C-alpha cells in the first residue's frame, strides 16, 4: 500500500513532531502547576531526560506518545503499513531505551510514573490527572508504579 502523502509532504509532517513541549505534556504540566506542584523540565542529568522531575518527591514523570513508545493494546498504536521494518525497529529501540532508562532511574532511587497520550483524551483526562496527583501525593513506599 502506498503512502497517501508524497515523500516531501511526509518528510515535512514528520519534521513537525516534537519530543518536548507536546500537547499531552503541556496538559499534564498545566494541571499539576494549577494544583501547586513545582517541577523541573527535561533534566539532562537523569537517564532518559524525564519530562517532569519532582526532586522533593524523588519522582519523575514521563508523558509518552502511544505510537512512539508502542503502547500495547492501545487503539492509537498502529503498525505502519509502509516501511514496516524500519518503523518497528525504531519503535523497538524506543521501548528498549524506555525500559533501560526506567530501571536506571529506579536504581538511583527515583519513583517512575508514565502517563500515556491516550489517557489524556477528553473522556479520560480528568480521571488520569486526578490519579496522577494522588500518585504524587502518596508516600513512595505505598505508591504503585504506573507503566
116-145 pLDDT per residue, tens: 999 999 999 999 999 999 999 987 664 444
Average pLDDT over residues 104-110: 96
Provide the CATH number for the domain around residue 123: 3.40.960.10
Show the domain range for 70: 19-137
The predicted-structure confidence for 18-64, as pLDDT tens digits, reads as follows 667 789 999 999 999 999 999 999 999 999 999 999 999 999 999 99
Q: Is residue 80 part of a domain?
A: yes
Counting the structural domains of the chain, the total is: 1
**What percent of the chain is predicted at pLDDT more than 70?**
86
Q: Is residue 50 part of a domain?
A: yes
Signed CA dihedral, 82, 91, 7, 12: sign only: positive
Amino acid at each position: 500500500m502506498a503512502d497517501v502523502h508524497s515523500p516531501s509532504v511526509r518528510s515535512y509532517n514528520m519534521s513537525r513532531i516534537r519530543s518536548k513541549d507536546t500537547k499531552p505534556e503541556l496538559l499534564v504540566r498545566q494541571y499539576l502547576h494549577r494544583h501547586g506542584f513545582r517541577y523541573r523540565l527535561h533534566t539532562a542529568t537523569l537517564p532518559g531526560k524525564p519530562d517532569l522531575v519532582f526532586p522533593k518527591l524523588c519522582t519523575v514523570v514521563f508523558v509518552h506518545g502511544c505510537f512512539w513508545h508502542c503502547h500495547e493494546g492501545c487503539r492509537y498504536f498502529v503498525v505502519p503499513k509502509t516501511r514496516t521494518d524500519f518503523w518497528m525497529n525504531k519503535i523497538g529501540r524506543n521501548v528498549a531505551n524506555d525500559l533501560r532508562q526506567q530501571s536506571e532511574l529506579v536504581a538511583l532511587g527515583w519513583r517512575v510514573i508514565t502517563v500515556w497520550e491516550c489517557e489524556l483524551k477528553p473522556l479520560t483526562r480528568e480521571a488520569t490527572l486526578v490519579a496522577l496527583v494522588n500518585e504524587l501525593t502518596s508516600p513512595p513506599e505505598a505508591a504503585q508504579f504506573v507503566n
